[in-house]
Amino acid sequence: MSIWEETKDMDKFNFDISRRALLGGSAALFAAQYLAASGVRAEAADRKFAAALGWTTYDSGRHLQDGFTAAVKELGGTLTTTDAGFDAKTQTDQIDSLISSKPEALFITPADAVAIAPAVQRAIAAGIPVFCADSAVPGVAVNTTSMSNNFGMGAYSCDFIARKLNGKGNIARVLLPQNESWDQRTLGMEWTLRRYPDIKIVADWAFALAGNVTPRQAVDNILTANPDIDAIWCAWDGAAVEGTLAARAANKPDLIITGIDGGSQAFNYIAGPSQLKLSMAQSFYEMAYLSVFYAHQHLAGQKTPRLVVTPTYAVEEAMLKDGIPDDFDVPGRADQLGWVRAV
C-alpha cells in the first residue's frame, strides 16, 4: 500500500483543530497587541493578501494553510489562496494571476523554489512585498523567509542513526533534491557522516515530483537488493512512513528509519512503535503565522527580518506517550509539552 494513493490509515490520526485554536489564542493576542504598539492601525482589517501555496496536502501543507488562515483571521485582512499541487508550472501561473489581482502582500510556499524564482521576481517588480514560508527562493530578495534549519535537521537525524548503530553499519537514503532548501538536508546528513567512517551508504534513491515511482516502491527495491541494510535516512516523513510500510512487508523489525517534517501521521507510526524512530518536526504553522505577522509590520512601515529560523523538535517515541499533539507548532504549545528545540 502506498500512502500517496491510499488513505485508509487516516482515521487513526488525531486532528485536534479546536485545541489548536484554543492554544493559539494567547499567541494571537500577543501578536495583535504587538502590531498595535508598532503602529498597525485599524486598516489592518481591510488588508488584501494572497497566498500561492506549493501544496496543501499532507501534514506539512495542512499546517501551513492553517497558519496562514488563522493569522489573517486574528491579525486582520482577507486572504485569497491557490494550491499548485507540487507543480512548478502551475504555481508560476498562479503567482502571475495573483500579481494581476494586486494584493498588498503575497505569501508563498515553494515546492520548486528555483523554477518559480522568475515569477516571484515579477511580483517584487510589481511592487508587491513577498513573504516565503518553508523554503528560500534563490536569487530573489523577498521581504522575509521563515523556515527551518534544513542542514541542521539532516545532520541531527543522521547523527541519531549513527548513534543507534554505534557508529557502524549499512544505510540507504531517500533524497528530495528538487527544492534547493530541502536538498540542504542531504548536505547536513553527508557532513555528519564524515565523523562515522564505518557507516556505509549502500543505496540512494532521489524522489522526483513528476516521477512514476513512489517512495514505497523505491524502498521495497532497496530492501530486496540490500538484505543486510541497518537503517534508512529519509529526507521527508512521507518517504519515512512509506519506508516503514515496506519494512513491515519485508519483515525487517529492527530496521531504523528517520524522517523530517513532523505531524500526526509520522507521530502515530513513531508512537506505534514501528521502524520509524524519529521525525524532525518542523514548525509549519509558526512559519505561516510569522509571514502574515511580518506582512502587517512591513505595511505599517516597520522593519522586518530577512530570515527567521523557526524551531524544529526531534520527536521520538517517549515524547508521544501522553498522546499525539497535532498542535505542537502553534507558538507556545511545545513549551507546554515539555519539548525542547533541537535545531
36 in Cβ contact with 76 (< 8 Å): no
Across 19-33, 36-50, 135-149, least confident range? 19-33
CA distance 71 to 76: 8
Whether residue 10 has pLDDT greater than 60: no
pLDDT for 30 equals 64
Topology (CATH) of 150-282: Rossmann fold (3.40.50)
Whether residue 14 has pLDDT greater than 50: no
Outline which parts of the chain fall under CATH 3.40.50.2300.
38-148+283-310, 150-282
Put simply, whether the predicted model's pTM sits higher than 0.85 gets the answer: yes
pLDDT for 44 equals 84
Report the amino acid identity of residue 24. Answer: G
CA distance 268 to 82: 29
Query: What number is the average pLDDT over the span 21-41?
Result: 59
Q: How many CA atoms lie within 13 A of 32 on its CB side?
A: 17
Whether residue 302 has pLDDT greater than 70: yes
Reading the block at residue 193, the C-alpha cell is 557522516
pLDDT for 7 equals 30
Place of cell 505569501: 107
Distances (CA, A) of 271 to 129, 133, 321: 42, 28, 7
CA distance 142 to 122: 11
pLDDT above 90: percentage of residues in the chain: 85
Q: Is 38-148+283-310 CATH 3.40.50.2300? A: yes
205-249 pLDDT, tens per residue? 999 887 889 999 999 999 999 999 999 999 999 999 999 999 999
pLDDT for 28 equals 66
CA distance 258 to 84: 27
